[in-house]
Chain A
Amino acid sequence: MRLQPDEDALEFAAAVRDLLSQTCDAQALRAAWDSVGQGASGRDDGRVPGLWKRLADMGVAGLVVPEELGGAGLDLTGALPVFVEAGRAALPEPVVGTSVGAALLTQAGGAVAHEWLPRVAAGEAVLALADGHDALVVGGQWADLFLLGDNDGVRAVARDDVDVDSAPSIDPGLGLARVRVHAGAGAPVDNADGRRAFDWACVAVAGELVGLARAMLDRAVGYAKVREQFGKPIGSFQAVKHQLADVFVATSFAAPVVNRAAWSVAHDLPTRSRDASHAKYAAGRAAAQAARTALQVHAGIGYTYENDLHMWLKRTWSLASQWGTTDWHKDRIARELLGG
C-alpha cells in the first residue's frame, strides 16, 4: 500500500516545480496580473507569455491525455502532484481546467475526444468546464473548447459558439469569464460522466489549495525568521510560533485526505463524491487558515499590493469558493453521512 503519489509522479512534479520557479516567480506572476486589459483581444490576459508552450513541451498540457493521443496518460493520482505545484506557484495558467476537461473526454471517448485531445496534448487547445448555459468559468477567458454540464449530460461547445465576457475579479490570474452558450450550440459528448468530472475537479483544486497553503506557510516562516522587533526575530515569539505550528498541522492533515480522494475518484469508488468533498473541504479550510496566518505574521507589509503575498491570498480565496464553496462541500458530506 502507498498513500503518497508514486515516485515518478513526484519526480515529474519536482521538474515542473523547477520550471515554474524559473519562469513563474513572483515577479513574472505580478507581470501577468498587470497584463490584464493591456492586450488587444484580452484572450491571454493574466497569463505568463510563452509558458503554456513550455509546460506543454514538458507534458503538462497533456498530463491526463491517453498516450496514444499524445499525452502522458496519467490518472488523477499521478497528476495530483502537478496540481499541488500549480497551487504553490499560484500559477496563472489553465492546468487544472484543461486537465479536468481532458479527463472528462478521456473517460467518454468518441469523436470529440479524438478530435480535441491530441491538440490539448500539443498545447494548441485549452479546455474549460462550464456549469450551465450561463456561468462564471475559471479559465473561460482562455479556453478554446467548453465542456458544458447540465441536466441532459455534457456538451462540447467551441469558442465560436459562446459569448465570453471577462469577469474582473480579485484574482486576475484566473482567466475568470462569464460564458453564455448560444442556443442549441455544440455537440453532445456521449457517455460523459459529468458528475465524476466535477469530483475530479474538486480533488485537483484541493491539490492546488494544499500547494497554496504550503507556499504561504513557507513565506510566513521565512519572513518570521528575518523580520526583527524588540531586537529579535518575530519567529522567536510564541504567539507567532504557535499560529504557524497550527497551520503546519492543518496542512499536514489535509494532504492525505486529498491523496485518498484522488484514489477514490481515479477508481470510481462508491465513496468517490464524499471523499472528493472531504478533500476540497479540508484543503479549503487549511489554505484559508494559512492565508489568515500568513497575513497576520506579515502584518503591515502583508497588507500591501507591493508585497507578493497578496497574490497567494487571492488565489486561495478564489479557489476556496470555486467548484463548490468550502461550506457547500461540508453540507454535501453532512447530507451523505446523516441522510436528508
Chain B
Amino acid sequence: MYPKEIEKYLLKVQKPGRYVGGELGEVIKDKQDVDVRFAFCFPDTYEIGMSHLGIKILYSLFNEKPYIWCERVFAPWIDMEEQMRAHDIPLYALESGDPLTDFDFIGFTLQYELSYTNILNMLSLGGIPVLSKDRHDLNHIVVAGGPCACNPEPITDFIDIFFLGDGEEVDLEVIELYRDYKRAGKSKEEFLRAAAQISGVYVPALYDVTYHDDGTIAAITPMDGAPATIEKRAIMDMDSCYYPDNFVLPNIEIVHDRAVMEIFRGCIRGCRFCQAGFLYRPVREKSVDCIDRECHALCRNTGYDEVSLSSLSSSDYSQVVPMLKRLNAWAKPEKVSLSLPSLRVDGFTDDILDEIKSVRKSGLTFAPEAGSQRLRDAINKNVFEDELINTCRVAFEGGYTTVKLYFMIGLPTETMDDVAAIAELGRKVVDTYYSVENRPKGKSPRVTVSASSFVPKPFTPFQWEPQDTMPMLREKQQHIRQSITTKKITYNYHDSDTSFLEAVFARGDRKLNKAMLLAHQRGMRFDSWGDCFSLQNWLDVFEACGIDPAFYANRRRSFDEILPWDHLDYGVSKEFLKRECERAYASQTSPNCREACMNCGAKKYGGGVCFEKR
C-alpha cells in the first residue's frame, strides 16, 4: 500500500508501477502483531531488485516467522526521487507504505560495488542518519549481506552489521537476538557486542584498523571480545535449507520474470578471476527429489511457464540429465519450459539439448573469457577451442544462428596476441557456421563478441594483481576492433571507467568511507547506470579526500601485505590462493573439485563436493 499523498506525483514519473506494491504474493501483516519489522532494501531499481533470487528467498523466510514482518524497498529512480524530495515524502516500504524510520532493521543486499552510493541515498531518503555513529538507539539497525560483504571495508562507517556467507540461518539468529535485547531494554552497543559473537556476523565498529605511512594496513585489531577472524556461514544440507514455494509476482515487466529454482550453491571450477567461484565453496547440491518437489510447487503457485534452473554453472550439476528428465515429466504436459543459464561450453551435450530444446532459439551464450588457450590456462578457464567449436556446430545443426561470446580484457599475464585471439576465435565460430551442412537455410550467423574489463577481486588468486590502467584497457578494446575482419561479428565492449571505480571499491579499505560520504553529499547515486555515472565526479571526490584511486585499482600488492579483508574467512586459505596465483603465472591449469581436491580449505565445513567419491 503506497502512501496516498504520492498519487498526485506518480503520473509524473516513468513506470509508476515501481512504487505502488500491491502485487500478488506480497505479505501483509498487522504491525501490532509483530515484534520486528525488517525493511529489505535492494539498492537498485524495482525491475532489477525484483529479479534477484536472494531477496525472494529471505523475504519468504523472514515472513514465515509470525513475529517478523519483512517488506521490500527499492531505490527510486531519479525522477521519483526528485518528486519525493520536493514534496517531503520519505522512502517507504511497498507493503505498508511506512517510512524506513518505522523499521527495526534496514537490510541491504550488496550485489555490486557501484550500488554503494544508492545505499546512502536510500537511507537519507528514508530519514535515517547515514553514519552508524549517528544512530544511537536500539532500532534502525542497518545490516548488509551478499557477495560484496566479503570486503565491506569502504562502507563500514554506514553499516552496523555485515552477514558473511549464506544468510538463511545467521540473519534469523541476529533478528532473534535483537528481539530479546529489545525486550530487555538493552542498548545498541550491547546488542552489537552480543551479535558479534554469532558466527558469520561482522560488526565493523568492533575492529580498529591502523595503517603504515605508505597507506597499507599495519594491523586489524578486534575490540570488546569480538573474534579475530569472522567466518562465513555455509548451509551444508541444501535439501533441508529453506526455499520459497511462491514469489511476489510483479505487476510490471521486470528484468527476469520467471520462476527460478536454485539447484546448487558454489562452483567446482575455480576460474581464477571469478570471485563467486571461491566465495561460495564448497559445492553443495540439492537432490533431484528436492528440486523436483520444490520446482513443481513453485511453478504451480506462481503460474510461471518458464523456470530457470539456477546456479553458477548449471551443467555441472552432477545429475543434470536425470534432473531435466524428471522435471520434464510434468513440465512438458503443463507447458512449462526449462532453461539452464550459465551453461558451459562443454556442458552443451545432445542429451541436454533434447531436454531444453523447447525453450527458445534466441541464441546461445558462452563465456570463453580469453581468446587464446595460453591465457585460458592462466585463468583456469578450462574451455578448449575444439569444444567450443563442436558445441557451436551442434547448436547450428540444431537450428541456432546466434552465438554470443563473452571475453575479458586486462587479465593477468595478457599480451596483445592474447587480445587479438579474441577476434580470431569469433571468426572461427563464423567459419564453423558455414561448414555445417544442414545449417538453417538462407540465414547468416550472428556472432556477438563482448569484452568487459577485468576487475581483480578479494578472495581470488588475482587479489594481489593490479588492474590495467584505463589507457591500457582502451588500447586493448581498439586492438580487438582492428582485429575483426568479418561483418558477421558484432563487437561490444564495456566502458572501462566503471570497471575502474569497481576495482577501487572491490579492494578498498576503510579510508574510502570518507569518499563514499562525500560522493553521497554531492548527490551521486546510480553509479551502475550510464545515465548517472560520471568518473570525473568521482575523481573530484577522491581528490577532495586526498585519496589516490590508483593505490586501490592499479597497484600490485605483495603476498605478505595485510589485505583489508584479511580478518574475514570465506573458507579458502590465503596459501591456496597464492599457490593458484603462481600456477597462473606458469599458465598452468588446476583440476576442478570433482577431478582432484586442491585443498583450498573449504573442506573444513564438513560436506559438499569435498566429500564426494572421486
Are A and B a genuine interacting pair, yes or no? no
Residues of B at the A interface (CB closer than 8 Å) are none
Residues of A at the B interface (CB closer than 8 Å) are none
